[in-house]
Chains A and B, each alone.
Chain A
Amino acid sequence: QVQLVQSGAEVKKPGASVKVSCKASGYTFTSYGISWVRQAPGQGLEWMGWISAYNGNTNYAQKLQGRVTMTTDTSTSTAYMELRSLRSDDTAVYYCARGGQLDAFDYWGQGTLVTVSS
């Protein structure tokens, strides 16, 4: 069965970086993209961007351009999302999901809480 398993919770100081991983299993990793979505406490879903697991092409939300980098490691079927220059309003649950460019998100990771606090 398809599974996306994310790395554990992180606590970071303002200005630091965080890198969240998303390990996929149960399907051919390079046949689908991986998207990242975050949700601040009590808020709605915010799309962060997408990466093709086939060729590494990316599409980032304009708001995060310059601070976010999405990568994949096809040898381990793992996607990564790195967010730099963290601020308190980056505190959120970060989700990876399968799909993105021309399809919906049919499978989701369990979420990773990133807390930014001094």
Chain B
Amino acid sequence: DIQMTQSPSSLSASVGDRVTITCRASQGISNYLAWYQQKPGKVPKLLIYAASTLQSGVPSRFSGSGSGTDFTLTISSLQPEDVATYYCQKYNSGFGQGTKVEIK
């Protein structure tokens, strides 16, 4: 099984900061990667698919990059409503362990 490893496991940043979350696959997965956001008590929401394509309706401050084994989710200017846990996932396979994002 392909393992997905995210870092950091949690972070605290100020409103307006640039935030970067990384995800590494244990073997190459081309661009078969998605990013999800889950707010407390809510259903996960798709943010990014195919590693870098923004899902319809998702704010443009979110972006994704990478291919092969190394991927990045970036929030260009952190907003209070971005407080959530973020997960990467290789299609049809497991998720990363999650990154909890908080406001400092």
Contact = CB atoms under 8 A, between A and B. Distances in A.
Chain B binds chain A: yes
Interface of A: 35, 37, 44-47, 50, 59, 61-62, 95, 100-106, 108-111
B95 A44 contact: yes
A50 B95 contact: no
B44 A95 contact: yes
A50 B93 CA distance: 9
Given A45-B87, A100-B92, A105-B46, 19 more contacts: A37-B95, A44-B96, A45-B44, A45-B89, A46-B94, A46-B95, A47-B89, A47-B92, A47-B93, A61-B1, A62-B1, A103-B91, A104-B34, A104-B50, A105-B36, A105-B44, A105-B89, A108-B43, A111-B43
Contacts of A61: 1, 94
Contacts of B38: 45
A102 B91 contact: yes
Given A62-B1, A110-B43, A50 B92 contact: yes
Interface centre among B38, B46, B49, B87 (most CB of A within 10 A): B46
Interface in B33-91: 34, 36, 38, 43-46, 49-50, 55, 85, 87, 89, 91
Contact of A108 (B44, B55, B87): B44
Given A103-B49, A106-B46, A108-B43, A47 B32 contact: no
Interface residues of B toward A: which range? 20 to 34
Contact of B34 (A50, A105, A109): A105
Nearest to B50: A104
Contacts of B97: 44
A110 B46 CA distance: 14
Contacts of A106: 46, 49, 55
Contacts of B92: 35, 47, 50, 59, 100-102
Contacts of A44: 85, 87, 95-98
Contacts of B45: 108
A95 to B, nearest CB: 7
28 contacts: A44-B85, A44-B87, A44-B96, A44-B97, A44-B98, A45-B38, A45-B89, A45-B95, A45-B98, A46-B94, A47-B92, A47-B94, A47-B95, A61-B94, A95-B43, A95-B44, A100-B91, A102-B91, A104-B46, A104-B49, A104-B50, A104-B55, A104-B91, A105-B34, A105-B89, A106-B46, A106-B49, A108-B43
